[in-house]
Amino acid sequence: MLKAFLHRRVQKFAKPFGYDATYMHEVIDASPLAAFKFQLSQFMAKHRDCVPADAWYAAHLAGVLCEDCGPCTQLCIDMAIKDGVAPATLAALVRGDMDQAGENAALAFRYAVAVARNDDSLELVEQVRQRFGPRGLVSLCFSVTGARAYPAIKRGLGHGAVCSRVAVVGEAISMTPM
């Protein structure tokens, strides 16, 4: 019964985005308990408090771009657009054009890249804390951390997919290497 519930839940999420969630169905088949525990972790990953959507999705996008996962990048873009983030902001981030991304998104993106790459991020941590407060900092930290889990799980199960282009409202954009 748990397997059927989890399969339906994954399918309900994936279908509207045209996302291939085969890897999650494999997790469910192998260990429904493991799949359930992973879904519980998403409460952390989806936490957004005191930070605007463009900044939160910028951190999420940076996380998947650093993991070099094209399908996850596309999913993040599609989810951000559905949540009201301007396509121009997302396109600018994918191109690496921070001047066109907007201040909040650019700061969150730079912060998340530094966190994902284990670069010296202390200055960016303080900038994020100043702009969004301590709760916003936690939200961006959780966003980049949660975003990186999916590509790692996919690769670990043999489903890693790298692509060099994503689409933002029909416009194909080459991904900037992280």
Do 36 and 73 lie in one domain? The reply is no
Q: What pLDDT is recorded for position 173?
A: 79
| 36 token code pair | 């359930």
Q: 3-state SS of 79-130? A: HHHHCCCCHHHHHHHHHCCHHHHCHHHHHHHHHHHHHHHCCCCHHHHHHHHH
Q: Does the pLDDT at position 129 exceed 90?
A: yes
Q: Does the pLDDT at position 145 exceed 80?
A: yes
Contact 59, 143 (CB under 8 A): yes
Q: What pLDDT is recorded for position 1?
A: 84
Do 168 and 117 lie in one domain? The reply is yes
- Number of structural domains the chain divides into: 2
- The larger pLDDT score, comparing residue 119 to residue 89, is at 89
Q: Does the pLDDT at position 177 exceed 70?
A: no
Do 31 and 58 lie in one domain? The reply is no
The alpha-carbon radius of gyration of the chain (Å, integer) is: 16
Do 97 and 84 lie in one domain? The reply is yes
Mean pLDDT of 122-135: 96
pLDDT, averaged across the chain: 91
Mean pLDDT of 38-54: 93
Do 22 and 56 lie in one domain? The reply is no
Do 67 and 125 lie in one domain? The reply is yes
Do 146 and 95 lie in one domain? The reply is yes
At 54-75, the pLDDT tens digits run: 999 999 999 999 887 688 899 9
Residues of the chain with pLDDT > 90: what percent?
Answer: 69
Crossing angle, helix 53-66 and helix 70-82, to 10 degrees?
170
Do 78 and 113 lie in one domain? The reply is yes
Enter the pTM of the model.
Answer: 0.89
Do 143 and 164 lie in one domain? The reply is yes
Do 100 and 165 lie in one domain? The reply is yes
Predicted confidence band of residue 106 (pLDDT cuts 50, 70, 90): very high
Do 58 and 139 lie in one domain? The reply is yes
Do 123 and 53 lie in one domain? The reply is yes
Q: What pLDDT is recorded for position 140?
A: 98
Q: How far apart are CA 50 and CA 68, in angstroms?
A: 28
* Segments forming the whole domain that contains residue 19: 1-45
Predicted confidence band of residue 124 (pLDDT cuts 50, 70, 90): very high
- The larger pLDDT score, comparing residue 122 to residue 132, is at 132
**Residue 68: left if φ>0, alpha if ψ -120 to 50, beta else—which one?**
left
| 134 token code pair | 């301590």
